[in-house]
Amino acid sequence: MAMAMRIRNAASRRAMSPISGDFSLRSMSSWWKNVEPAPKDPILGVTEAFLADPSPDKVNVGVGAYRDDNGKPVVLECVREAERRIAGSSFMEYLPMGGSVKMVEETLKLAYGDNSEFIKDKRIAAVQSLSGTGACRLFADFHKRFRPDSQIYIPVPTWSNHHNIWRDAQVTQKTYHYYHPETKGLNFSGLMDDVKNAPEGSFFLLHACAHNPTGVDPTEEQWREISQLFKAKNHFAFFDMAYQGFASGDPAKDAKSIRIFLEDGHHIGISQSYAKNMGLYGQRVGCLSVLCEDEKQAVTVKSQLQQLARPMYSNPPLHGAQIVSTILGDPELKSLWLKEVKIMADRIIGMRTTLRESLEKLGSPLSWEHVTKQIGMFCYSGLTPEQVDRLTSEYHIYMTRNGRISMAGVTTGNVGYLANAIHEVTKSS
C-alpha cells in the first residue's frame, strides 16, 4: 500500500514538473508562436525572383553590385595583388575594438584630404565599422545615447535601410524634401525650406555623392548654400558616403560636399564603405568618423564609439581591413585602384548615355535627359510600379518597384533589349 502511494505521488510530481515531457513540449512550443514572418527586403526579393525565373532573356537591374560588360562580378586587380601580399600573414588575432589603425588612417585621408589639418591635429574620432551599414548604425546609437532628445531628418527618398537603422536605434525620424518627381531632379527649394524650418540643432542625413536611389546630387553651388544654412541653424550633418570614387571616377571630386562643410567650419560625421569602390561587398569593411572640437574630445568620443561597438560585435573583421590598408598604403597599388575605380565609373556613365540614346532612337515621346544627368550606380527612371510589373511579367526584367535601375546591371549586350522594353511599357504614357 505504501509502495503504491509513493508511485502515485511520483507520477503526480512528474506531471506537474516543468521538465516533464508533455508540459515541457507545450511550454516550448508556445515561446515563439506569436512571431510572424518578416516582410521581404524589397531589394533582395528582386534577386530571389530573378534567380527563380528560367527565361534566357532575363535581366537583373535591381541589385547594387557592380558587374562588368559581360554581367559578371569583378575582383579588382589591386585587390588580387593585396591578397597575394597578405596571403603569407599568420596574424589571426583580434583587432582592437576600434579596428585597424592603419586602415582608419588611410580612410580618413580619402574623406578629409591627404593634408587635412583635422587629421594632423587629431581632432577626428574614428573607428573601423562593418561597412557603411555598420557605421550608420553605430552613429545612430551614439546619437541616441548622447543626444536623446534630438531627431534626425532623412531625405525622401533614401536607401530603405536608413529608416531601419535609425528606427532600431530608437532615434526619432523626420523627413525632408529631396527628389522632384516631375523634373526627376533635385527639389532644392523644398530641401532648403525643410532645413530652414527644422528646429535649431537638428541632425540631417546627407548622401555625400551618388544619392541612392535617385542618382541626383546638388551642384557645388547648391552644396555651398546648404552648408551656409546648416551653419545658420546650427544643424549637424551626417554624411553617408558609400560611393566615393564610384560616382565620377574621382574620389576627391566625390568628396566635394564634405570638403565644403569642412571649409565652413562644421563638425560633421561620416560613414565610409569599401563595398562599391573596391568591390569588397562581402568583407564588410568601412569607417565611422566624427570631427570634434579638439584632440581631447576626439579621444573621449572614440572611447564611447568603441564602448557601443563592444556589445554589438566586439571587434571588426581583419581581412578586409588588411586589403584596404595594403592598397591605400602603397603608392603603386593606390594608383592602380584609382585607375580601376575610374574604369568602373566610366562604364556606368557610358551605359547611361547608351540607354538614353537607345530610347530616343526608338522614338520615345518622353524625355530621358535625367538618365544622363543623374550619377552613380542608380538611375531613378520615373517608371511607375505598374510599368515595372509589366517589365517583369512581359520582358523578364527585374528591378525594384520604385523604378530604380542599377546601371551596373546594364551591358552592351542587354541595353537594347532593356530600352525596347522600357519604350513598350511607357509609350502610352
Residues in the chain: 429
276 catalytic residue (yes or no): yes
Cell representation of residue 229: 544654412
240 catalytic residue (yes or no): yes
Set 141, 194, 217, 240: catalytic member: 240
121 catalytic residue (yes or no): no
Set 141, 159, 184, 194: catalytic member: 159
- Say if residue 157 is preceded by a cis peptide, omega within 30 of 0: yes
Set 276, 302, 337, 368: catalytic member: 276
What does each C-alpha distance from 23 to 7, 8, 19, 30, 328 come to in angstroms? 20, 18, 7, 11, 61
281 neighbors 248 (Cβ within 8 angstroms): no
Q: What residues are annotated to the active site?
A: 159, 240, 276
